[in-house]
Amino acid sequence: MINPLWLNTFKTLVEVGHFTQTADKLYMTQPGVSQHIKKLEQACNCDLLSRKKKSFELTEQGRIVYRYALQLAKNQEDLFESLSFDNPYAGQCNLSCSGSLSLRLYPKLLQLQQQHRELSIHLEAAPNQKILNDLLQGNTDIGIVRHSPNDSYYQSQVIGQESLHLIVPHNLADLEITPTVLNDIGLIAHPDSAHYLSLYFDLCGDKDLASINVNEIPKSGYINQLHQILLPVSKGLGFTVLPASAVEHFPERDKLHVVPPKVEVEETLYLVQKRNQKLPHRYDAVIELIKQNVNS
């Protein structure tokens, strides 16, 4: 690789046309300028200047190297210009959230992308811990999680609440839902089921449900695809607990029964990013959209 200092000295010399004036402009000595030109010629293995007493002319190879030096200077100028301009509606936005929130937010994010075609939305539906790990590893830039993470690694803000529903098959709509009933039909498990069940049973105001050990509930099935978790429930094969948005987007809603809780169960949602990470301005519109729609 050619030393960029030698190239800059050569470019300046060609434009100024005089060794001493070049030295003054670059705050160098005249022998220093001559040394740079000599080293550049050695690196290129050819003469770049045809010297005539106190003047010089470019050789054919010198003109080629000069054009190369001009292009490098232009590339650097373009680089600095691009770094200084942070377009608020262009570039890739990487974010992660739960599957239920992705159902709600993704259509809105696509509308934003339609308005600003230079935006590129990359949304991953992922469990809580994967979101946090991806933030630390730089695989995503913002995430929505269910609890406030360690302040040493993340910065977070509360952006809303999400209701949790206990969902059973519709044929149980007139039946009192007790621990015995739930044990009999079995749990349709999913990656967040243990967390959702524990939270729901603790906060729903039903002492009998609060006494359930979620680890001892028989499982009648497991699925990790959000849009399919409610399918076995609709077929009478089990029960589960999910955010309200998952029920709202299920196409066969009439085959489900949401058990009315004695106390509404809501989960706090946090918008999280890696601590001390400065996000590009394009995330401003994305974050504002999330805040407006997370509770809609």
Other CB atoms within 10 A of residue 57 CB = 10
Looking up residue 202, the CATH number of its domain turns out to be 3.40.190.10
Residues 18 and 46 placed together within one structural domain of the fold: yes
pLDDT digits (tens, 9 = 90+) for 216-249: 999 999 998 878 999 999 999 999 999 988 898 8
Residue 135 belongs to what domain range? 91-158+268-293
| Residue entry with tokens 């099935």 | 221
Range with lowest mean pLDDT among 52-56, 71-75, 141-145: 52-56
Q: Evaluate if pTM is beyond 0.75.
A: no
| Residue entry with tokens 């509930």 | 217
Domain boundary among 84, 119, 135: 84
C-alpha 290/C-alpha 287 separation (Å) is 5
pLDDT for 99 equals: 83
* Closest-CA residue to 136 (of 269, 271, 270, 273): 273
The dihedrals phi and psi of 251, each to the nearest 5 degrees, come to -65, -25
Average pLDDT over residues 69-91: 85
Residues 253 and 195 placed together within one structural domain of the fold: yes
The total domain count for the chain is 3
Average pLDDT over residues 70-99: 86
pLDDT band at 54 (very low <50, low <70, confident <90, very high): confident
Residues 166 and 259 placed together within one structural domain of the fold: yes
pLDDT band at 192 (very low <50, low <70, confident <90, very high): confident
Residues 169 and 227 placed together within one structural domain of the fold: yes
Checking if the pLDDT of 84 tops 70, the result is: no
Mean pLDDT across the chain: 92
pLDDT digits (tens, 9 = 90+) for 11-49: 999 999 999 999 999 999 999 999 999 999 999 999 999
pLDDT digits (tens, 9 = 90+) for 125-150: 888 889 999 999 999 999 999 888 88
Residues 200 and 153 placed together within one structural domain of the fold: no
pLDDT digits (tens, 9 = 90+) for 164-175: 999 999 999 999
3-state per-residue secondary structure call for 165-232: EEEEEHHHCCCCCCHHHHHHHCEEECCCHHHHHHHHHHHCCCHHHHCCCHHHCCEEEECCCHHHHHHH
pLDDT for 296 equals: 63
**What is the DSSP secondary structure assignment for residue 152, as one 8-state letter?**
T
- Containing 83, the helix (H) or strand (E) segment is helix 60-84
